[in-house]
Amino acid sequence: MKTGKLVAIVILLITSSISIDLMAQENILAVVRKAEKIEGVRFDIVRKKNPETKQLVNEITSLSFRDNEALKKEFLDAFEKDRANADNEIEGRNQGVVTELMYKFGSTSCAFNIGKNGSVDVAIIVSHK
Amino acid sequence: MEKDYNRINTLIERFFEGYTTNEEEKELYEFFSREELPQELAPYKTLFDYFETGIADDFLKEKSPAAPQPKRSLKRRLWIAGSVAALLLLLVTIGVNLFTQDHPFNPYEGSYIIRNGQRIDDLNMIAPELEMAATTALLRQEKMEQLLQQAEEAERGNLRHQEIQYQLCEMVSRYENRYVREEAKRILNIHCNN
């Protein structure tokens, strides 16, 4: 009985840690999924493997767009919502306006950047090192 | 006549060894199609009759859908199954070789881009864009790591500074004279709570 309870607790801890890891940046990922279907958004999904070990090194979801204030605001809101879950965060401002956000959630990094020409770049990097 | 029989005997030997030509086999079939045969050669008649016409008849019977299918022996079935397995193995080997030759390892396997809602996954075509996207994203990550490291170092430096200041304050607090304590703080440029 005791072993059964212990196993159940271990399984619960493992599943909860996995779901917490996924939940950490859920708002950002939701906007990324939405942006995939929006015309004018450049999307690059890069899965890079190590040529020697053939193992996946990192998965990068990179997207960029411009002249879409609504989408830009959605990303800023999503980053703000997921801020509390980040292990580390870096915020860059230019004349009081947020131009750069970088969050680290365990092995996942999320970056938001507004370029000088007004283009918005978002990158999600999952490292498997 | 005796000479003919000797030749037939030689041809039979060659036949069973598999060395006879078409003409020689035809000669054998013609010989054994005779009604009258010498006693020592008569046992071969059935065999050569079968080779001449029986095989063709069997083949036609197999082809005919109405004809009942003869039961294949276990040996024959095994032979067919073995042949099919060997052929499949050969085809799989060739296929795997061709596949690996045509598709050498690509570190970007499974990557794709979306432009105007259209997914493009031809790696040869999109390789430069994948490289660019990966490089930009990883540089950004690198910058983040560096900034975090700098922040950590600054925090460590600040903690060390606070620790030294605390030790100096401890030392100064040992002076009984208040004026001496204040002068020591001024010289050491420290701010203590007491």
Q: Decide: pTM greater than 0.80.
A: no
Question: How many Å apart are CA B175 and CA B171, to the nearest integer?
Answer: 8
Residues B47-73 have pLDDT tens digits of 888 777 766 666 666 665 555 555 667
d(CA A13, CA A33): 28
Residue of B nearest to A108 (CA): B141
Q: Per the structure block, which two tokens stand in for A84?
A: 């509390």
Whether residue B136 and residue A102 make contact (CB cut-off 8 A), yes or no, is no
Give the model confidence (pLDDT) of A18-63 as tens digits: 555 557 889 999 999 999 888 889 999 999 998 888 899 999 999 9
Report the C-alpha gap between A122 and A100 in whole angstroms.
Answer: 10
In tens, the pLDDT along B158-169 reads 888 888 888 889
Strand order of the β-sheet with A42-49 is A88-94, A97-105, A108-114, A120-127, A56-65, A42-49, B112-115, B118-120
Mean pLDDT, chain A, whole residue set: 86
| B window 50-89, beta carbon within 8 A of A | none
Q: Which among B110, B130, B140 has CB closest to A111?
A: B140
Distance CA B191, CA B169 (A): 8
The answer to whether residue B116 neighbours chain A at the CB level (below 8 Å) is: yes
